[in-house]
Structure 1
Amino acid sequence: MPKIVDHDARRRLIADALMKVAADQGLEAVSLRHVAAAAGVSVGMVQHYFHTKDEMMAFALAAVADRAESRIRTAVTSLGDSPPPRLLLRTMIAALLPLSGAARDDGRVALAFLAYAAVRPQAGQGLRPGTAQLVDFIAGLLPDPHGTPAATALLALMEGLGVYLLGGQLTPDQALAALDAQLDVLFLP
């Protein structure tokens, strides 16, 4: 009887190994050989599921996005029905910030991917629709007349805070205080 292979599980195993290599050693260490070693599989198996480094990176970033979405969903669900917009935004952004544990690992992978995409724009093309959706969602929560420019600035603040958290220039308390200060400006009565 032929062996039944769970291809999704193998892709996740390889993606998890890729994320571990990227989080521990940086994106420059990501190669088919390093990912295969971290996953405990052959280089040929990695090549079977991911033909290029770009494909591996896109899959890993999608896995990071899925985990971030799960963190957001859990955090927002704890707020109950119809939370105030300011609290909803703070909760969502705090769930996205690399404040500790798995969020820090995911943040390192996301930052590495953004650096990778900065010199390979085609690798980052898939980020545009999600970014536009996030900006539109945030803009919808902000009081008038802030809209899209303020939503874009808030998203940029979140990204900058994430970089400073990962680099150790800010503590989680300092990052959250900066976020609160900006939300206070946007939600002044």
Structure 2
Amino acid sequence: MPKRVDHEDRRRQIAAAVRRIAADRGLEGVSLNEVAAEAGISKGSVQHYFASRDEMLRYATTTLRGGIEERIATPSEPRVRDLLIALLPLDEAGRDHALVANAFVVRALKDPEIAGHFRTGHGQLRDAVAALLVAGQDAGDLLLTGDPAMEADLLLALVAGLGDAVLLGYQTGDEAIALVDLHLSRIAASRER
């Protein structure tokens, strides 16, 4: 009896291989041959699931969100700080995720489909941060003076910049966390106005 293959599972397996290569060598290292070797399957199998390298990269971009969701898994009552800290590359998994995301950002500059995936993902992340900001304000922990979505965009820009600084080694993880805390202290309800 021939072995049954879960096609979506195989596509995810190939995308995981793309992400591992991208974390190690950037997208320049991603070829059908390299992906096949990394995934432990034949080049023909990769081509069966993806007609081209571009199609494979576009699909791999759709799987980046899963990595973010794993990284930002927070307590049952998450706070905005928990989510922001989880986005920083503070450990090997976080570093790998940031390297892969950065590699795809460069690709997104010339690929509208990949850029669309990033815009959608950023919008969802911004909405999650804004909701946590509103929850913090409702709980009396935060004092927002402006639009929660704009504050969320500011916080995400801060974390993105700090993430790059940690990757490049001119900020430590602890320094990045301290800067996130400094910004959050500026909207904390306990501060004097």
- Tell me the TM-score range normalised by the shorter chain: 0.7 to 0.9
One-letter amino acid matched to 2:36: A
Q: CA, structure 1 residues 91+101, in 2 after alignment: closer, same or farther (shift >3 Å)? A: same
2:125 equivalent to 1:134: yes
Structure 1 segment 3-82 matched on structure 2, within 5 A: 3-73=3-73, 76-77=74-75, 80-81=76-77
1:49-84 per-residue CA deviation (whole Å, 9 max, x = no partner) reads 1223343233333333212212322xx22xx54x5x
Q: Summarize the alignment of residues 158-169 of structure 1 with structure 2, pairs less than 5 Å apart.
A: 158-169=159-170
Cα shift at 1:163: 1.2
1:120 deviates by 2.2
Residue number in structure 2 paired with 1:156: 157
Q: Which stretch shows the higher mean deviation, 64-73 or 20-29?
A: 64-73
Identity across aligned pairs (percent)? 44
Q: TM-score, normalised by structure 1?
A: 0.85
| Pick aligned residue for 1:118 from 109, 120, 135 | 109
Change in Cα spacing, 1:118 to 1:48, as seen in structure 2 (3 Å) is: same
Match of 2:137 in 1: none
Amino acid at match of 2:162: L
Q: Is the 8 A contact 2:61 2:114 kept in 1?
A: no
Cα distance in 1, alignment partners of residues 25 and 114 from structure 2: 20
Question: The residue matched to 1:187 in structure 2 has which SS?
Answer: coil
Q: 1:66-123, CA deviations, whole angstroms, 9 ceiling, x for partnerless residues?
A: 12212322xx22xx54x5xxxx111111111111121111111111111110232332
Q: Deviation per CA, 1:128-181: give whole Å up to 9, x if none.
A: 223223223323415332322222111111111111112222111111111111
Compared CA separation, residues 137 and 16, structure 1 to 2 (3 A): closer
Unaligned 5+ residue runs, structure 2? 135-142
| Aligned twin of 1:175 | 176
Task: Indicate the residue corresponding to 1:102 in structure 2.
Answer: 93
Quick one: structure 1 residues 184 and 35, their matched pair in 2 at CA, closer, same or farther if it must change by over 3 Å? Answer: same
State the TM-score, normalized to the length of structure 2: 0.83
- 3-state DSSP of counterpart to 1:119: coil
Q: Counting helix residues as a fraction of each chain, which structure ranks higher?
A: 1
Note the residue ranges of structure 1 that are not aligned, 5 or more in a row: none
